[in-house]
Structure 1
Amino acid sequence: MSGLILRLAGPLQAWGERSAFPRDRDTAPFPTRSGIIGMLAAAEGLPRHHPQATALFEDLTLTVRVDRPGVRLVDYHTAGGGQPKELTAATSSGGNKGAAVITHRHYLADAAFVIAITGPADRTTRIAHTLTHPHWAPYLGRRACIPDEPLLLRADVDDPVTELRQHVPLTPHPDRPAAGQDSVEVTFLWEQPPTEQPDAAPFATLYDTPHSFAPHARSHGKRRIYRTRERLPAALTDHGPHTVHQRLIDYALNTPKEVPA
C-alpha cells in the first residue's frame, strides 16, 4: 500500500450530498467521497457512464484534515431567463416552462482541506500522474470552483496519515492561534475508526460512495464518517518569512524549510 497527499483549497468549493438537481443545491461541510472520486475519474479521462469511473477507485481510503472549514455562502442563481420558450430549461415533464429556473446554490468560501489517499501503489502512482497531466481539469465539486495550487502535494508516500499529522504545513485559521503553544488542535475525518480510538462512534452517515456517475443512472452507497480532534505541532503553522503557498510548494518539492533569522 502507498499513498498521496492532495490539498483542496480555493475561493469556492461545493460538495453536494443530496439530490442531483434540487432548487437548493447543497454542500457538505467537507469534501465528499463521490466528489473526490469524480475528480480522479475526470483526470483519468473516464466519462461519467464508464463503469471504471467508480470501480477503479473502490479500494482507496480517504482521510481528511480540516485546515480551514470555510464559511457557507449561498448564491441566488437563475438559468434560462430572457430566452424564447423553446430555449429555456426543461421541466421534469419534458416540456419548457418559458421562464427562468431559480436555484439557491450553497458553497464553502475560503475553505482548505488536506486529503491523504491510501491504496495500492500502482493505483496511487497512476492517480498522481493523471492529476499532474489531467484529461479534464480538476474542480472542487462544481466546474466553477477552481482549485488553488499546489493541488498534488506528494506522491508515493509510505504513510500519508503520518504526513498529515507531522509534516504537511497548516493553512492559517484565525480561530487557531499558535503563538506561545507547542501544539494546535485540528479536526480529522476518517472512513474507519482511527487506530488510537477503535471503539469510536460514527460522527455522520453519508450516501456519498459512488456506484455510478451515469447521468440517468446515478447511484450511491452509504459511508460512515468518524471525527477526531488531534493536537499537531504548532511548527506546522510557522511559515517564517514565507507565505503558506511557498511553504506548501517547498513541501511538495521536498525543499527544507528556511529557518527564520
Structure 2
Amino acid sequence: MSGLILRLAAPLQSWGEHSTFGERDTQPYPTRSGILGLLAAAQGRPRTTGLADFFHLRLTVRVDRPGVLLTDFHTVGGGLPRDQTVPTARGDRREEGKGTVVSHRHYLADAAFTVAVEGPDELIHELSAALRHPTWAPYLGRRSCPPAEPILLASGLTDPVRALKRQVPLSRERPHTGDTVAVDFIYETDIRDPHARAHLMDVPVSFDPLRRAYRPRAIKVRTEHLPADLCGGHGVDQLAALAEYAGSARQGG
C-alpha cells in the first residue's frame, strides 16, 4: 500500500451529493464520487468502465480553508422562440414565454483541501502518472471549476495521512499565539459506526449516464491540532511553501 497527496484549491469548487433538477448542492468538503471522478478523468476512463479497483482506495481530507458558501441564481433558455427552448422530459419544447429554466447552484468560494489517497501500489502508480499527464482536464466537482494549481503534490508515500499532519504545508496564516493550529479532518469509517457524523450517498458504482449508481458511505469529522509551523500563509508565500514540499517529496521518492 502507498499513497498520493492531492491539493484541491480554486476560486470555486462544488461537490454535489444529492443535486436534483433546479437545486445543485455542494457538500462542505470534497465527496468520494467527485475525487474518484477526477482520477478517472485523468486516466481517460470512459464512463462505462467498471470502478471495482477504485473500491480499494481510501481517502482522508484535510480542510485547509473551508471557503465561503456561494449561491448562483442561474437561468437558461429565457427569451427564446419555442423551437429553441430547453427540451422537456417528454422530449417536446416548453411554451413560448415559459421557457426559462431556473436553478440555484451552490459553490465553495476560496476553499482549499488537501487529500491523502491510499491504495494498492500499482494503482497508485497509475494514478500518479495520469495526474501528471491527464487525458481529460481535471475539475473540482463541476466543469466550471478548474483547479488553481497542479493537483498532485506527492506520490509513492508510505503514510500519506501522517504527511498531512506533519509535512504538507497548510494554506492558512500562522496564528499570532500558540504553537498549534486546529484543523478539521474527514475520515472514512464503517457504515455501521455509531460515531459517524454523516452518511453520504457518494460511493460511485457506475458513472454510466444510463446506469449511474451510488452506494452510501460513512464519515467522521475530527478536529486535530497540528504544528503551527505547517502554516504556509497565502499568495506567493503559500505557493513557495507548496513548491518546496513538492520538490522535497520528489527527491524523497
- TM-score, normalised via structure 1 length: 0.88
Structure 2: distance between partners of 1:182 and 1:219: 45
Whether the aligned pair in 1 keeps the contact of 2:170 and 2:233 (CA below 8 Å) is: no
Structure 1: distance between partners of 2:37 and 2:236: 33
Map of 2:11 onto structure 1: 11
Map of 1:94 onto structure 2: 91
Map of 1:209 onto structure 2: 203
Map of 1:183 onto structure 2: 180
Whether the aligned pair in 2 keeps the contact of 1:150 and 1:249 (CA below 8 Å) is: no
The letter for the 1-side match of 2:145 is C
After superposing on structure 2, the runs of 4+ consecutive aligned residues of structure 1 that deviate more than 3 Å are 238-242
1:246 matches 2:233: no
Deviations 1:108-128 (A, max 9, x none): 000000000000011111101
Report the secondary structure of 2:216's partner residue.
strand
Structure 2: distance between partners of 1:238 and 1:79: 41
The letter for the 2-side match of 1:90 is P
The letter for the 2-side match of 1:108 is L
CA, structure 1 residues 238+129, in 2 after alignment: closer, same or farther (shift >3 Å)?
closer
Q: CA RMSD in A?
A: 2.0
The letter for the 2-side match of 1:106 is H
Alpha-carbon offset, residue 242 of structure 1: 5.4
Map of 2:45 onto structure 1: 46
Alpha-carbon offset, residue 181 of structure 1: 1.1
Structure 2: distance between partners of 1:140 and 1:239: 22
Matches within 5 A, 1:1-261: 1-19=1-19, 21-51=20-50, 54-98=51-95, 99-172=99-172, 178-192=175-189, 201-238=195-232, 243-254=237-248
The letter for the 2-side match of 1:226 is K
Report the secondary structure of 1:57's partner residue.
helix
- TM-score, normalised via structure 2 length: 0.91
Alpha-carbon offset, residue 79 of structure 1: 1.7
How many corresponding residue pairs? 245
CA, structure 1 residues 77+238, in 2 after alignment: closer, same or farther (shift >3 Å)?
closer
Structure 2: distance between partners of 1:78 and 1:66: 32
Structure 1: distance between partners of 2:69 and 2:85: 29
Alpha-carbon offset, residue 105 of structure 1: 0.4
CA, structure 1 residues 146+9, in 2 after alignment: closer, same or farther (shift >3 Å)?
same
CA, structure 1 residues 241+90, in 2 after alignment: closer, same or farther (shift >3 Å)?
closer
The letter for the 2-side match of 1:236 is L
The letter for the 1-side match of 2:217 is R
Report the secondary structure of 2:205's partner residue.
strand
Structure 1: distance between partners of 2:46 and 2:236: 40
Structure 1: distance between partners of 2:77 and 2:60: 39
Report the secondary structure of 1:246's partner residue.
helix
Question: Gaps (5+ residues) in structure 1?
Answer: 194-198, 256-261
Question: Gaps (5+ residues) in structure 2?
Answer: none
Alpha-carbon offset, residue 200 of structure 1: 7.1
Alpha-carbon offset, residue 239 of structure 1: 5.4
The letter for the 1-side match of 2:73 is Y
The letter for the 2-side match of 1:49 is T
CA, structure 1 residues 148+200, in 2 after alignment: closer, same or farther (shift >3 Å)?
farther
Whether the aligned pair in 1 keeps the contact of 2:183 and 2:224 (CA below 8 Å) is: yes
CA, structure 1 residues 55+245, in 2 after alignment: closer, same or farther (shift >3 Å)?
same
